[in-house]
Each structure stands twice: as structure tokens, then as C-alpha cells.
Amino acid sequence: MSEKKQRISRATMSRFPIYLKALRTMGQSGKESFLSSELAEVTHIQDTTIRRDFGFLPQENSLGKRGYGYDTQLIIDALSNVLGLGLDEPIILVGVGNLGSAILKYNRWKYTVGKIVYAYDRDQNMIGERFGVEIKDINDLEETFPKDCKIAILCVSDDVQSIVDRLVALGIKGIVDFTHNHFIVPEGVEVQNVDVVVAIQELELKMKAKASEEE
Ligand SMILES: NC(=O)c1ccc[n+]([C@@H]2O[C@H](COP(=O)([O-])OP(=O)(O)OC[C@H]3O[C@@H](n4cnc5c(N)ncnc54)[C@H](O)[C@@H]3O)[C@@H](O)[C@H]2O)c1
């Protein structure tokens, strides 16, 4: 890692995915260059902040021409490089019920962190295609597991630990967990829990703290 990368603040790093998503969308619609003011309009981040943040990107190549704005593809490449995210990062989803279906339908990963290549379920009625994603039988997980897949989204309701064990054995390094189940992963595997109940509880705590501040 270069010295420059090490100095990137947390706040700047947290804005990079927002720029990346907006620029990939712009790039898809044929916009080859952009002004910081145009990106500011889409992201609601001040253009001065954007220009300062871009100053932290690797500058081996010039990132744009004076008066013409920044080069969309060069900035996309630089941001992807710093974030270590691939546009084609293969992701799988396990459990295509209410929640899993909603996630498959919400297909906005396209321009941000890769795409769900396959989904898996044990229900034979689910096997086929849904929302443009192939649903496979969980019994065939080992035979059909996509090459280089490191991220799995977990939306199953039963046998969570055994599914996790199989995923880890196949090389999964990161799990986005929507289940309310406790499970164990070996060192080196990251789990990110997403739970609406916890989100509501945290929100209530923040609201109470704010209310007592105002008293
Ligand atoms: N994180 C949250 O905020 C939140 C909100 C709602 C539900 N949940 C949890 O998410 C999970 C899914 O909820 P849902 O409403 O979609 O349930 P659901 O019953 O509608 O769907 C579960 C799906 O997973 C499949 N499945 C279950 N066990 C499996 C296994 N071992 N292998 C393969 N497929 C399996 C089922 O066939 C079904 O299609 C549950 O664990 C639920 O408690 C979390």
C-alpha cells in the first residue's frame, strides 16, 4: 500500500463507494467526463469535498483535463483500485423466500459491488430463474459453486450452521447474514449482520438520547 493510500481518512473512504456507484451509472449512460459540480448534484456531496477526496486517488495518470472535467473511466478505475472492489465480484444468495426474493429483485449491485450470480434453495419449486438470477438446488451447491466467489448472502430459515460450514469449506470469506441465528465461523471469515430489529432498537436509543439532550 502506498503512503498516500494510508493517509486516506475514514470519512473520505466512506464517500468513495458513493462516488463509484454514481459514476458507474453515469458511465453506463455514456458520460465520458464529468465536472465535480455534476457529481455533487447526484451525490449531494459538496464539490469542494469531492475535489479534495479525489486528491487522495493514485495519480499515476492524470484523472482529467483542465476545463473538461474528470475522465469518468479513469476515476472509476482509481476508485475501484483503492476500494479493492470488482465490478464482476461474484456473489451468491442462499434462501430464496420472502427476504431472499426481495434482495434478488433489488438488483442495484450492478454498478457497485458485483452481482448475484446464483441463488440456492432447498425447495424444488424454487429451482429455475427468478428476477434474472438462476436458482439452484442447495444439494448441488458443491458442484455448481461459482469460481472465485468469496461473498454469500444468507437468507435461510433452517440449518444455518450446516449451510455456513459448507460455504466456508468452498472458500466463502464474507457472509452478509440476515438470519436471526447464532452460528460460528473460523478465523478469517467475516460476518456482517443485517437485522431490522437491531436497527429499530438502535434508532430508539438515538431518539431517546436526542430527546434528553433537548430537555
Ligand atoms: N434480518 C432481518 O431483519 C430479518 C427480517 C425478516 C426475516 N429474517 C430472517 O431471514 C430468514 C428468511 O426469512 P424469510 O421471511 O425470507 O423466510 P422464508 O421462509 O420466506 O424463506 C426461507 C427460504 O429459505 C429456504 N431454506 C430454508 N432453510 C434452508 C436450507 N437449510 N438450505 C436451503 N434453503 C433453505 C426455504 O426453502 C425458503 O425458500 C429467516 O431466518 C428470518 O428469521 C431476518
- Check whether residue 138 and residue 168 sit in a common domain: yes
What CATH number is attached to the domain comprising 78? 1.10.10.10
- Check whether residue 58 and residue 103 sit in a common domain: no
Contacts for 35-38 with beta carbons within 8 Å, 24 or more apart? Answer: 35/69, 35/70, 36/69, 36/70, 38/69
- Check whether residue 55 and residue 25 sit in a common domain: yes
Q: What pLDDT score was predicted for residue 83? A: 80
Among residues 158, 199, 151, which one has the least CA distance to residue 179? Answer: 158
Looking at per-residue confidence, does 60 or 17 come out higher? 17
Q: Count the domains in the chain.
A: 2
Contact 33, 70 (CB under 8 A): yes
C-alpha cell read off for 35:
465536472
Q: CA-CA distances (angstroms) from residue 149 to 60, 88, 159, 161?
A: 30, 10, 21, 19
What CATH number is attached to the domain comprising 182? 3.40.50.720
Contact 121, 63 (CB under 8 A): no
- Check whether residue 100 and residue 64 sit in a common domain: no
Confirm whether residue 97 is marked as ligand binding. yes
Q: Which protein residue has the closest C-alpha to ligand 1 atom 32? A: 122
- Check whether residue 193 and residue 111 sit in a common domain: yes
Residue 215 lies in a domain: no
Q: What pLDDT score was predicted for residue 137? A: 98
Q: What pLDDT score was predicted for residue 105? A: 87
- Check whether residue 137 and residue 189 sit in a common domain: yes
Residue 208 lies in a domain: no
C-alpha cell read off for 153:
448472502
Contact 146, 102 (CB under 8 A): no
Residue 142 lies in a domain: yes
SS3 197: helix
Q: Which of 28, 59, 83 is the last residue in one of the domains?
A: 83
The closest-lying atom of ligand 1 relative to the alpha carbon of residue 138 is 33
Contact 17, 48 (CB under 8 A): no
Strand order in the sheet with 64-65: 33-34, 69-71, 64-65
Residue 206 lies in a domain: no
- Check whether residue 191 and residue 111 sit in a common domain: yes
Q: Which protein residue has the closest C-alpha to ligand 1 atom 21? A: 97
- Check whether residue 102 and residue 71 sit in a common domain: no
pTM over 0.80: no
Query: Is residue 3 scored above 50 in pLDDT?
Result: no
- Check whether residue 63 and residue 96 sit in a common domain: no
Q: Which of 65, 83, 101 is the last residue in one of the domains?
A: 83
In whole angstroms, give the CA distance from residue 106 to residue 115: 11
- Check whether residue 170 and residue 111 sit in a common domain: yes
- Check whether residue 108 and residue 170 sit in a common domain: yes
Q: Which protein residue has the closest C-alpha to ligand 1 atom 39? A: 97
Confirm whether residue 96 is marked as ligand binding. yes
Residue 209 lies in a domain: no
Query: Is residue 5 scored above 60 in pLDDT?
Result: no
Per residue in 150-185, pLDDT (tens digit) is 999 999 999 999 999 999 999 999 999 999 899 999
Q: In which band, very low, low, confident or very high, does the pLDDT at 2 lie, cut at 50, 70 and 90?
A: very low
Q: How far is the CA of 95 from the centre of ligand 1 (A)?
A: 6
Q: Which protein residue has the closest C-alpha to ligand 1 atom 13? A: 99
Q: Give ligand 1 pocket residues (Cβ under 6 A).
A: 94-100, 121-123, 126, 138, 155-159, 163, 178-180, 194-196
Average pLDDT over the chain, rounded to whole? 88
Residue 16 belongs to domain spanning: 3-83
Where does 56-114 show beta strands of DSSP type E? Answer: 64-65, 69-71, 90-94
- Check whether residue 162 and residue 128 sit in a common domain: yes
The closest-lying atom of ligand 1 relative to the alpha carbon of residue 96 is 39
Q: Could you tell me if the ipTM is greater than 0.95?
A: yes
Per residue in 23-55, pLDDT (tens digit) is 988 998 999 999 999 999 999 999 999 999 998
